C-alpha cells in the first residue's frame, strides 16, 4: 500500500477511522472525507500518533448536499492525478422523514446518492490508476429493503429502518451496475457487510431502536473488527480481479436475489443519473 492514494468517506470515526488508521500504517496516503472539521482534525492527529510518517489530507463534505459533494470531488481532482482506492463508508439513518437541501429523503440522499455521485465524479481520476479498487460499505440490512422505482424515497408510510435497508440494497445494486460498466478498465467495484458493529450508529434512531441497539452491544463487533473486510478488499491480492461481489467476514457472500437483479441495477443507475443530473455529463 506504500504511497497508494486512498479516499475514505466518513473517516473520522467508527470503522472508517479504523480503516484509515490501518491503511496509513501500511503506507497508504489517506484522504479523509468528513463532515465535521474538528472531528476530522482529531482523527488525523490520532492516526499520526499511531503512525508518525502517515500522510493524511482532510477534505470536508456533507453528503446530504450535492453541491458539497461536487466541491469535494473538485478539490480532490485538482490535487491528485491518480486515485488507487475509493472507500465509500459514510452512512446515515434518521428517526423520522426529513429532506435534504436538494429535496431528497435524507437516508436515500446520503447513503445512496452520496455514493453514486461522489464515485462518478471521481471516476476519471480513478481510471487513471489502471488498477484501482472501489469499495462500497453496504449491510445485511439490505435484506429488509426493496427496490420500488415508484417510491424510492418512501414519502408515503416512511419507516426509518426500512429506509436504511433500502439504501443498503441500493448500495449493492449500484456496485453491481458499476462493476459491469468497469469491465475491461482494470478498475474493480465490490461491496461488503461490515458486521453489526458497536458504533454511535444508533444516534439517529428512535428510542425503541436505541434500546434494542444498547441491549445488543455485548454481542457486536468492535470497530476494528468491523473494518476488517474493508481493509481486506483494499489490500488483499486475493481480490485483485474480483469485480461486482458482495463480501462479509472477508469472504464472498450471496446477497438477497433482488440485489443481484441486473435490470433493477440498471434502472436504479438511470434514475440516479437524473436525480444527480449526471445524465448531462455521463462518464460510464
Q: Residues with catalytic annotation? A: 164
Within 10 A of 219 (CB to CB), how many other CB atoms are there? Answer: 8
Half-sphere exposure of 179 (CA within 13 A, CB side): 22
Query: Looking at the DSSP assignment, which residues form a beta bridge with residue 34?
Result: 60
The answer to whether the beta carbons of residues 172 and 246 sit under 8 Å apart is: yes
Total residues belonging to the chain: 284
Using CA atoms in the order 201, 206, 208, 209, what is the torsion angle rounded to 10 degrees? -30
**Which residues have C-beta within 8 Å of that of residue 21, sequence separation ≥ 6?**
46, 47, 50, 51
CA 136 to CA 271: how far, in whole Å? 19
Amino acid at each position: 500500500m506504500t504511497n497508494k492514494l486512498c479516499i475514505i468517506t466518513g473517516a473520522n470515526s467508527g470503522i472508517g477511522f479504523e480503516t484509515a488508521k490501518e491503511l496509513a500504517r501500511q503506507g497508504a496516503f489517506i484522504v479523509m472525507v468528513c463532515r465535521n472539521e474538528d472531528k476530522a482534525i482529531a482523527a488525523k492527529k490520532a492516526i499520526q500518533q499511531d503512525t508518525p510518517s502517515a500522510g493524511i489530507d482532510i477534505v470536508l463534505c456533507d453528503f446530504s448536499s450535492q453541491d458539497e459533494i461536487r466541491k469535494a470531488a473538485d478539490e480532490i481532482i485538482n490535487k491528485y492525478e491518480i486515485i488507487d482506492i475509493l472507500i465509500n463508508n459514510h452512512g446515515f439513518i434518521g428517526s423520522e422523514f426529513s429532506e435534504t437541501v436538494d429535496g431528497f429523503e435524507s437516508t436515500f440522499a446520503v447513503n445512496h446518492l452520496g455514493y453514486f455521485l461522489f464515485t462518478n465524479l471521481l471516476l476519471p481520476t480513478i481510471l487513471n490508476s489502471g488498477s484501482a479498487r472501489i469499495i462500497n460499505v453496504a449491510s445485511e440490512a439490505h435484506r429488509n429493503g426493496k427496490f420500488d422505482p415508484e417510491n424510492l424515497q418512501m414519502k408515503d408510510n416512511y419507516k426509518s429502518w426500512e429506509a436504511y435497508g433500502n439504501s443498503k440494497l441500493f448500495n449493492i445494486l449500484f456496485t453491481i451496475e458499476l462493476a459491469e460498466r468497469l469491465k475491461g478498465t482494470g478498475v474493480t467495484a465490490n461491496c461488503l457487510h461490515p458486521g453489526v458493529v458497536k458504533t454511535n450508529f444508533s444516534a439517529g434512531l428512535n428510542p425503541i431502536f436505541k434500546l434494542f441497539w444498547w441491549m445488543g452491544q455485548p454481542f457486536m463487533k468492535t470497530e476494528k473488527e468491523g473494518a476488517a473486510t474493508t481493509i481486506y478488499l483494499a489490500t488483499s491480492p486475493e481480490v485483485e480481479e474480483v469485480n461486482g461481489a458482495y463480501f462479509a467476514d472477508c469472504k464472498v457472500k450471496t446477497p438477497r436475489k433482488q440485489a443481484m437483479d441486473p435490470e433493477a441495477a440498471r434502472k436504479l443507475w438511470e434514475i440516479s443519473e437524473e436525480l444527480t443530473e449526471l445524465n448531462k455529463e455521463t462518464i460510464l
